[in-house]
Amino acid sequence: EDQVTQSPEALRLQEGESSSLNCSYTVSGLRGLFWYRQDPGKGPEFLFTLYSAGEEKEKERLKATLTKKESFLHITAPKPEDSATYLCGTYSSASKIIFGSGTRLSIRP
Amino acid sequence: DAGVIQSPRHEVTEMGQEVTLRCKPISGHDYLFWYRQTMMRGLELLIYFNNNVPIDDSGMPEDRFSAKMPNASFSTLKIQPSEPRDSAVYFCASSAMARNEKLFFGSGTQLSVL
C-alpha cells in the first residue's frame, strides 16, 4: 500500500537549535517527493519538490534531501517564525497526491 | 490574484443536516482538489476535477458526500446527511496543470457536526 510516514509527530526546539524532520515513503516508482508548510488556520503552502535520490533543495533556513527510501527536511538555526506543521507528500501508484500526517515544529525564542 | 477562496470559514451544524462547502479556484487553473484534514488521518484526497470534470472520486468516504463543479470558477462539496465523524477541516486546492504537485490551497472550512 502506498504510504507516507513522518516523524517525529511534534518537535520543540530552542531558537538556533538545528534539527531534521523525517519523511519515509513506500510507493512504487517515485515520481516526486514534495514538502509543504502549514501555518495554524491556513492551508498548506508548497515549499519544494525532489525528484531523484541525492537531490537537494534549499530555501532560507530549510534544506530538503532525498534518498531512495526517505526524505529529510533540515532546519538550520531556526527562528520562531519557522514554527509550523511541515507536510511531505508524493504521488500514489494511482497518481494521486498523498500526504503524511505532518510534523508540528515549535521554535522557542 | 486572491488565491483559492473557500466559504464558509467555519460551519457548525447538527447531525442529519445538509452541509454545503464552497470553493473558488485560482483563475486559469484547470485542476481542483478537495481534501479533508483530521488529526487521526491527516490530509486525505476526496476528489479532484480536471476542466470541471470529476476524474477520481475514490476518496469520497460515502454516498453522503457529493461534489460538483458547474463551471471553471466554482465548486461545491455537499454532505447530506451530516454525521459527527464528518467533523474536520475541508480544504480546496487548485493547480495549473497535470502532474503539478504545486497545489494552491484555500484557508479551509472548519466543520463541526454536533
Ramachandran quadrant class, A69 (left: phi over 0; alpha: psi -120 to 50; beta: rest): alpha
Specify the pLDDT at position B98: 63
- Interface contact A43-B93, CB threshold 8 A: yes
Interface size, chain A vs chain B, as Cβ–Cβ contacts under 8 Å: 52
Contact A43 B4 (CB under 8 A): yes
Q: Are B79 and B87 in contact (CB under 8 A)?
A: no
Q: What would the DSSP string read from start to end of A2-38?
A: -EEEEE-SEEEEETT--EEEEEEEE-SS---EEEEEE
For A9-22, write each residue's pLDDT tens digit. Answer: 999 999 999 999 99
Residues of chain B that touch chain A, judged by Cβ-Cβ distance less than 8 Å: 4, 33, 41-43, 45, 48, 56, 58-59, 91, 93, 99, 101-108
Mean pLDDT for A22-32 is: 89
Give me the count of residues in chain A: 109
pLDDT of B1: 64
Report the residue count for chain B.
Answer: 114
The Cα B88–Cα B97 span in angstroms is 28
Nine-digit cell at B38? 483530521
**Preceding omega of B81 cis (within 30 degrees of 0):** yes
What confidence tens digit (pLDDT) does each residue in B18-35 have?
Answer: 999 999 999 999 999 999
In chain B, the residue whose alpha carbon lies closest to the alpha carbon of A85 is B42
Residue A37 has pLDDT above 90, yes or no: yes
* Phi, psi values for residue B73, rounded to 5°: -115, 15
> Can you say how many angstroms the Cα of residue B42 is from the centroid of all Cα atoms in its chain?
15
Nearest chain B residue to A99 by CA distance is B43
Option in A34, A43, A96 nearest B108 (CB): A43
Output the average pLDDT for chain A: 94
Residues A77-97 have pLDDT tens digits of 999 999 999 999 998 888 888
Q: Which residue of A has its CA nearest to B110?
A: A41
Quick check: A30 pLDDT over 90?
Answer: no
The candidate with the shortest Cα–Cα distance to B85, out of B56, B106, B113, B65, is B113
Binned at pLDDT 50, 70 and 90, residue A104 comes out as very high
Angle at B41 between CA B33 and CA B69, to 5 degrees: 20
Mean pLDDT by 10 residues, chain B (114 residues): 92 97 96 94 93 93 94 97 97 84 94 97
pLDDT tens digit sequence for A45-72: 999 999 999 999 999 999 999 998 999 9
Calpha distance B8→A107 (Å, rounded): 31
